[in-house]
């Protein structure tokens, strides 16, 4: 059973990537591993726009999202919430036993820089979490404006989730002053799930030194000590690191800039389709994600029936909406290797099904 995924992760993985995963195994303390690890660092740093190390965590993104909270929150963390993932991050902060504050916004609206400034001005916080691209609602916050606010508060360590926007557009970590930038492999990088990538500033590591209860598996100091030897703290998903190396070859062959342009173009195709078919974007257009489109089901179509037909007839799957907006929205991803042609074909197939559905 094989079909093409247009859901916002996991997404389709190329045959080339899958083949790279089949590379024969090596020991994680071997010279070969050190070479593999060190061979991908410069290109990862380039994609993260950073001089800081990029740690490889064998976990999904949530591992590092939870780990970051445990590493840098000494006093209190502020969780900015505007969708399912960011709402959950607040819950995770509390489950880590941290004092946490909630800054809430309507689903489909971005995190507001002025509201962030007002809350951080209370002086209670020494860490903040932001999700750049709220995948549940297809909403992209203005990370440049938000980081400009966070930089006004030097005691606050910033943790930014770019899980579903990394490699879709440039997120300039060092320039923006992001301390901890986290992504995962199964979104726009088009790898199978199982690895989180996390770049951590020296400031954040210095904070971690003073924070008890960091645990072991996600301890930044363990990652750093091993990074300096070209290794990871425990046995990593070596097959996925081979896949990542292969994908980095692809990305730099295409060039990151061309990749960003391709994603923007494909995203615009979906937006045009939404307008043409009498649907609306779920978020305000200005804050619509560039990685996926969250469509408001204004025509009240049977999204589950549409998706079932899409799968049965065309071997493709879109997403039927997430959490409390399931069915009221549906989502179409344009991440990864999708081209003008694959997106256009999907949209034409959806047109055919929509005309039959009513």
Ligand X SMILES: *Cc1c(COP(=O)(O)O)cnc(C)c1O
CB of 230 to ligand X, least distance (A): 25
| Cα–Cα distance measured from residue 230 to residue 243, given in angstroms and rounded to the nearest whole number | 18
How distant is the alpha carbon of residue 42 from its chain centre? 20
CB of 219 to ligand X, least distance (A): 18
Report yes or no: 119 and 103 within 8 Å, Cβ to Cβ.
yes
CB of 193 to ligand X, least distance (A): 6
Alpha-helical (H) ranges within 104-172 are 113-120, 143-150
**Interface residues toward ligand X, by CB under 6 A:** 9, 60-62, 85, 131, 133, 135, 161, 163-164, 184, 187, 193
| Cα–Cα distance measured from residue 232 to residue 104, given in angstroms and rounded to the nearest whole number | 36
Q: Which is nearer to ligand X, 63 or 153 (CB)?
A: 63
Q: Which is nearer to ligand X, 164 or 226 (CB)?
A: 164
Q: Is 72 helix (H, G, I), strand (E, B) or coil?
A: helix
Tell me the C-alpha to C-alpha distance, in Å, between residue 103 and each of 62, 131, 136, 137: 20, 12, 17, 17
Q: Which is nearer to ligand X, 309 or 318 (CB)?
A: 318
Q: Which is nearer to ligand X, 139 or 297 (CB)?
A: 139
Q: Which is nearer to ligand X, 195 or 309 (CB)?
A: 195
CB of 163 to ligand X, least distance (A): 4
E strands in the chain: 4-5, 54-57, 77-81, 100-104, 127-131, 133-134, 139-140, 157-161, 180-184, 196-200, 280-281, 292-296, 316-317, 329-333
ω before 236 within 30° of 0 (cis)? no
Q: Which is nearer to ligand X, 141 or 266 (CB)?
A: 141
CB of 95 to ligand X, least distance (A): 15
Tell me the C-alpha to C-alpha distance, in Å, between residue 328 and each of 115, 288, 304: 28, 17, 11
| Cα–Cα distance measured from residue 200 to residue 328, given in angstroms and rounded to the nearest whole number | 38
Nearest to 202 by CA among 46, 100, 50, 73: 50
- Residue 94, classified by CB atoms within 10 Å of its CB into exposed (0-12), middle (13-18) or buried (19+), is middle
Q: Which is nearer to ligand X, 120 or 131 (CB)?
A: 131
Q: Which is nearer to ligand X, 56 or 353 (CB)?
A: 56
CB of 184 to ligand X, least distance (A): 4
CB of 85 to ligand X, least distance (A): 4
CB of 140 to ligand X, least distance (A): 10
């Amino acid at each position: 059973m094989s079909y093409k995924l247009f859901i916002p992760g996991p997404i389709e993985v190329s045959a080339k990537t899958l083949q790279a995963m089949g590379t024969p195994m090596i020991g994680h303390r071997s010279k070969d591993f050190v070479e593999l690890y060190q061979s991908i660092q410069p290109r990862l740093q380039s994609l993260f726009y950073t001089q800081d190390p990029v740690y490889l965590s064998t976990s999904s993104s949530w591992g590092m999202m939870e780990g970051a909270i445990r590493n840098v929150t000494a006093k209190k963390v502020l969780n900015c919430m505007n969708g399912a993932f960011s709402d959950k991050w607040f819950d995770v902060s509390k489950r880590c036993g941290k004092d946490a504050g909630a800054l809430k916004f309507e689903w489909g609206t971005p995190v507001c820089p002025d509201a962030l400034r007002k809350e951080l001005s209370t002086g209670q916080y020494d860490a903040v979490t932001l999700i750049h691209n709220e995948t549940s609602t297809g909403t992209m916050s203005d990370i440049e404006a938000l980081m400009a606010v966070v930089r006004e508060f030097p005691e606050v360590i910033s943790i930014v989730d770019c899980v579903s926007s990394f490699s879709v557009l440039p997120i300039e970590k060092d320039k923006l002053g992001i301390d901890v930038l986290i992504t995962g492999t199964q979104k726009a990088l088009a790898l199978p799930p199982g690895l989180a990538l996390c770049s951590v500033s020296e400031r954040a590591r210095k904070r971690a030194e003073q924070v008890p209860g960091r645990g072991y598996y996600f301890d930044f100091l363990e990652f750093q000590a091993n990074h300096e030897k070209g290794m990871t703290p425990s046995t990593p998903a070596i097959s996925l690191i081979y896949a990542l190396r292969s994908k980095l070859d692809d990305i730099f062959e295409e060039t990151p800039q061309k990749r960003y342009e391709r994603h923007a173009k494909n995203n615009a195709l979906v937006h045009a389709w939404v307008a043409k078919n009498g649907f609306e974007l779920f978020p305000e257009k200005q804050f619509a994600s560039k990685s996926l489109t969250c469509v408001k089901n204004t025509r009240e179509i049977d999204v589950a029936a549409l998706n079932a037909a899409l799968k049965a007839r065309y071997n493709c799957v879109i997403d039927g909406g997430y959490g409390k907006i399931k069915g009221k929205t549906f989502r179409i991803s344009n991440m990864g290797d999708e081209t003008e042609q694959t997106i256009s074909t999907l949209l034409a197939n959806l047109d055919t099904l929509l005309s039959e559905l009513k």
